[in-house]
Each structure stands twice: as structure tokens, then as C-alpha cells.
Structure 1
């Protein structure tokens, strides 16, 4: 029995705490960018980090299972179970927030007819065909849709490619993405229909880079200390700095193509000081939830900053605290129970189908 098997062991034991912490910081930076762009001017680059991290983690986790017989259907079913509950929470709370705009005069005004037309698609994690924005009520959800697309590509193609093939695909996508970023003077691309191709290229570039990194060995021992702390500080600086002497397009390209994969590679090889482990773990635990729900709180809390004149820094802190609180509530009372219930239903269904037990065991 290992230490992690004992009741009462810290939940962050055995985890990649640096990666957890960086994911949490990146989610907060995206939220802050949407709330007050001046406080996190390059927060959108976090999306490239998310895709690189996802490719890395999923390849490390599922490649051995795929090699042992995990089917495409079984893998995608697991990914939907993982992603959908908080995605659903995000769509619900952002829809209520959009409805409230009609009464408060804050934010974008979407007609009830448009909401009714877009919601059936968005609730299925599909882009809305009736609006220019893929997910008009929860705009950041576009990347969650492409996460599922990338997951499908992982089992259909990326698992089968050698490292040289992954490198070639990453470089080709990076070249295409660079052209788009230079043309648009920045890398904040992907949420609307006319950027659909760029969204696919952006996802392919970063996700495949993460898969490539996962195909190299990682030391079992990860020292805790200054290197892990430096990674946490580096991702915060990358997303929040505004270097006026460097054009946005070049800064974004450097962050998306070079820095984000590099931080994934470094973060997998070190840990932060032990005193920071609980904080980094917690930020990682709520990161996806924060990303899913933060859009709903943006306009209500902008009222205090923009209309009442409250201090922007103070309101930025309050906004992030509210995002974390709502995100944690979603994890605690929706995500975890729903995933347990779905998992139990699937296990019960499998137990009632004896003929499928053999294939289920290999999955």
C-alpha cells in the first residue's frame, strides 16, 4: 500500500502540482482578460497553453490504454463525461446572465428568439448556426468544442503518428497560424464562424505539440523548489504583461508557439515549494469550472467598476474571487455528483450486458 492509499493523505499527493497551478492561473487570466483587458492584456494566449497541456496529459494518460485496446467510442464517452457537466453549468448560468441584461441594461442584448434558436445546439456542445459567434451566450466555450474535436483527432490520428509526424503537423499548423496572427495583428482568434479554420489550426498546433512532448520520457522524481515557483510566475507574467515595444502579433506568436509548450515541458519536471502545493492544487481543481462560468459574472460585476466607479484592481480581485466561488460550487454540487451518477449508470448497464464484459474489460 502506498502513501496515497491511506485515508487522509493530501489530495495533491502524486499529482503534477506545477501543471495544476499553471492551469489555474491561466484560467484566472482568461477571466480577468474578459473582465478588464488592461489587467491581463494577453489572457487569451492561455487557450494555447490549455490545448498544449491537454494534449500532453491525455497522451500520457490514454496512450497506454489505447495501445491495450481502448476504443474510440469508449474514449470519447469518457471525455464527454469529463467535460459536459461543467460545460452545461456554464451554459445555464451565462444564459441567465444574458436574460438579466434585458432588465439591468448591462452587456449584450440577445433576443429571446435568438437564445431559443442557439441554445439547442450549444447545449449539445455544438456551435450555433444562427449567430456569428459560435457560442453567443458563453463565448469562451468555443475552445471546449474544439477540445472535443482534438480529442477525436487524438484517437483517430495522433496516437498513430510517430514523433516526426507529430513534429511536422505541429510545424505546419504553426506556420498557418502565424500567417493568421500577423494578418489580424494578434492571436485573439477563434470564437466566430469566419475564423473556424483558424480555430482548427490553432487547436491542432498546440494540442499536437502537447502530444509530442508527452512522447518523450519524464523523470519520475520532480524536485520541489524554485523551478516550480518560476513556472507559476512565468505563466502569470506571460498572460498579464504588456510589452509596448513588441507588437501584439509577435508577442502572441512567441507565447503560443514557444513559451506555452515550453512551460508544459518544464512544469512536468518540477514542483513548487511544498507550502504552495495546496494552493496550486486547488487552483487546478477549479480551473475548468472557472473557465466555464466566468462569462456569467462579467457584466454584473462590471457595473461596480464601470458605473459606480469602484477601484478596478479591487473589483478585479472581487470578480476573480466570485468566479472561483461559483466554479467551486459547480465542481462540488454538480460536476462531481453528475459524473459519479453517469459512471454508476454506465457500470450498471455494462453489468447487465454479459456479452459485452470481455470488451469492457479491455477498455
Structure 2
């Protein structure tokens, strides 16, 4: 008997594996930027790449379902089920990390009063109106909130626009974004209240660019080879290089407006070499979790680098390894079980016969 014929296909089969790998590398670059800025000086530009990638993937996945009658409510429910479990893990571990600072000699970085005021909002995935920072205990979570805002915009507005309309939205947002980045000498903007307008424009520009790319004709075949590997190398280079001849603001604008959408477009048209596919897939699988939890490990592991004087390159590698490990554990033991349970409950509810549903409703 031919056992190979019946062997289960690997989990990366049929996926956009290059995009998965790029997303994983981008998440690691954000984490490294926050841990030791000199090792990934433009790591924050990954956020623009994330938004472009999200617009692309969500449009490819959900536009046919929306055209077949999926409601805005059903779509947003799916997005919340996907985003909330790991978002909640991120808030929990960053809060525990903040509390631990009081006992490790790191000082009172986060006051208990501030935590008590901000957490009720942040746990509901809402920005805190009582602090200057939108998500003070897990600062990068601002982009997860705006991801939800973009998702709502997708199902209410962007799905209805023709390609020329999407292009107009991208260009209008870019025209607003460019002078703001130039004025601030860089594109690391969005985490605090006075930048909320910029956060909205930044999100709209990149996310809509991704949606526009998804509406272009799809690649007939995605060959595996050097181009996929080049895309993975390119996203790492974009986030870790710091060319002295280019001012930061102009470099960030080029990365946000041109390079990130281009990498999404290219990455959707090729696959990495076969030996890289499992690693690229795995990095993609843990990428969102790494993004959600990395802030919690930052201060505890900076202690070894800053106070004990351990080698910064070694500590950067150990920090990223810890982020991946914690991210993987969060996916394995919280995210997947929680989403499976929620979906099972929703399916069971949907299976209740209609007359029975009507009987339990009050008159």
C-alpha cells in the first residue's frame, strides 16, 4: 500500500507561506525594536506592513463571503473571535510584568492607580481615556484596536468601493500622512491620544492599499524558489537597516507607502524554497502572539543587558527566543482552545431549530 498517498498534507500546504514568514519576521523586528532600538531601528514600520498584509488577506478571504450574503455583524464577530484571545493574553502578561517591576528593583514604572484606571477599558479592547497612552500596559496594542476599526471600515465601506475608489482613499491618506511624518522626523506614530488622527490615517492608508492589491488579478501559480527567500530577506533588511544617507522620515515614508505594499504584492506571488517553508509557516503562526506578548518580556530581560552588562546581541537573541516560546505557548494553550470553544458554542446555537428559538423569546 502507498502510505504517502494518504499522508496528511503539511499545514503550510496551500497557504501564502511567504506572507506568513514575512509576518513572523516583522513581528520579531517590532519586538527587537522595543527591546534594543539599535538592533532594529525601523522596526516600527512593520506596523504599516501588517496593515497592508491584513487588508490583502481579509479581502481575499472574506470578499466572496460578503458577496454571498455575510453580514457586517457576522464578519465582525469572526474578527473579534480571532483577535481577542491573544489580545487578552497580552494584556494579562504585560500587567503581571508591570506589577513585577515593583519587586525587582526596576522601580515604579507603572503605578497601581494608573493600572486600575486603564485596565477596565483596555481589557475590553478599548483605548484608555484616562491615560495619555491608549494602552499604557501593552503599548503596541494600539494597532490591534485600529485593526478592528479597519475591519469595520472594510465591511461597511471598502468592500463596496471600485478599485479606483480604493486608490483614491490610499492617495488621500498618503497626502495627509507624508507631512505628519516629515514634521515628526519619522513614522513611529500612533500610540498616544494626540496622535489618534495620524493612527487612523496610517491604518487607512496601508490597510486600503492591501485591499486594493487583493482586488488585482491573482497569480496563476506561486513558484517556490529564490524570490520567496528574497522577500523574507527584504522584510528583515527593511526593518533592521538604518541608512545614514537617508533621513529617517523619508526612509519611513518609502517603507510605508512603497516597499510594504510592494512586498505584500510580491510575497503573494511566490513561495519560499521547500526547506524554508516549515520555518516560514511557524513564524507566521506565532507572529500575532509574539506581537501581543513581547512587551511583557522587555523590562525583565533588559535587566540582563543594561544592569548586568550581558552581550546585547546575545540578549537580543535570547529575548526573541523567549518571545517566540511565550507566543507559541499562548497560541497552543489559550488561543486555539478558546477559539475552538467559542466557535463550538456559536455553532450549537445556530443549530437550534427556529421554532424552538422563537419559543424561548419573551412575547
* 1:193 aligned residue: 193
* 2:71 aligned residue: 71
The separation in 1 between residues aligned to 2:333 and 2:205, in whole angstroms, is 35
Relative distance call for 1:60 and 1:345 in structure 2 (3 A) is: same
Deviation (angstroms), 1:353: 4.8
Deviation (angstroms), 1:113: 1.5
TM-score normalised according to structure 2 size: 0.95
Structure 2: state its 5+ residue gaps: 358-363
- 1:339 and 2:339 correspond: yes
TM-score normalised according to structure 1 size: 0.95
- 1:136 and 2:108 correspond: no
* 1:59 aligned residue: 59
The separation in 2 between residues aligned to 1:159 and 1:268, in whole angstroms, is 20
- 1:270 and 2:274 correspond: no
* 2:230 aligned residue: 230
Residue 310 of structure 2 aligns to a residue whose secondary structure is coil
Relative distance call for 1:342 and 1:249 in structure 2 (3 A) is: same
The separation in 2 between residues aligned to 1:343 and 1:106, in whole angstroms, is 41
Deviations 1:43-97 (A, max 9, x none): 0000000000000000000000000000000000000000000000000000000
Deviation (angstroms), 1:354: 2.0
Residue 130 of structure 2 aligns to a residue whose secondary structure is coil
Judge conservation of contact 1:224–1:273 (CA < 8 Å) in 2: yes
Deviation (angstroms), 1:266: 0.1
The separation in 2 between residues aligned to 1:172 and 1:162, in whole angstroms, is 16
Judge conservation of contact 1:107–1:299 (CA < 8 Å) in 2: no
Structure 1: state its 5+ residue gaps: 358-363
* 2:104 aligned residue: 104
The separation in 2 between residues aligned to 1:109 and 1:281, in whole angstroms, is 36
The number of equivalent residue pairs is 354
Deviation (angstroms), 1:108: 6.1
Residue 331 of structure 2 aligns to a residue whose secondary structure is helix
* 1:258 aligned residue: 258
The separation in 2 between residues aligned to 1:206 and 1:10, in whole angstroms, is 31
Deviation (angstroms), 1:220: 3.2
The separation in 1 between residues aligned to 2:316 and 2:108, in whole angstroms, is 20
Deviation (angstroms), 1:8: 2.6
The separation in 2 between residues aligned to 1:7 and 1:102, in whole angstroms, is 52
* 2:360 aligned residue: none
* 2:127 aligned residue: 127
